[in-house]
Amino acid sequence: MKRQTLFPVLVLLSLTLSSCGFTLRGTVPLGNQFREIHLSAQNEHAPLVRALQNRLERYSVTLLPQPTSSATVIYLYPETLERELLSLFRTGQVAEYELIYQVRYEVRQPGLEPQLFSFDLSREYQDDPNAVLAKSRELNLILDELRQLASERIIRQLSRLNTQEL
């Protein structure tokens, strides 16, 4: 008896979710205007550029070596990282920082005005002056994670640009 009532409820729920535009994270559809993208930056070998290239390739986007009149251009401004003091040890040494990773980029689509976007991502980072090497490695891991999150956020913004134009 329960299975007979459970199935219609699941079907109704799945229809409701699909009709409202719900998609799982990481499955954001990119429109046809984003099938070819030229990715540009001051430093073409910057870690954020590589992270975004990898993410775009997962979405089957063709990365063009040179801009064309029909391709979207994404220009990544240099990333910045700020550290704000959160707490100190009794000795006066820094115990904890807040890392603020700032990203700015511009999207240039054919026939439209360029759009400038920026956002901040932050993480807390505990410092230990007695484990400098380990903390340096941890900082690099945190920065890699922030770059991955930033590339995902750029993709989500591109998908929103796609839906705004429809």
pLDDT of residue 111: 86
Structural domains in the chain, CATH included, are: 23-164 (3.30.160.150)
pLDDT of residue 7: 76
For 11-43, the pLDDT digits (tens) are 777 767 666 655 555 555 666 778 889 999 998
For 128-153, the pLDDT digits (tens) are 767 777 778 888 899 999 999 999 99
Distances in Å between the Cα of 133 and the Cα atoms of 47, 129, 138 are 21, 9, 9
Q: Are 110 and 71 in contact (CB under 8 A)?
A: yes
| Main-chain phi, psi angles of 35, to 5 degrees | -75, -25
For 75-95, the pLDDT digits (tens) are 999 999 998 888 877 887 777
pLDDT of residue 166: 39
Region 96-124 average pLDDT: 93
Place of tokens 């003091």: 85
- Closest CA relative to residue 74, chosen from 110, 113, 105: 105
Place of tokens 């089957």: 60
> Model pTM?
0.74
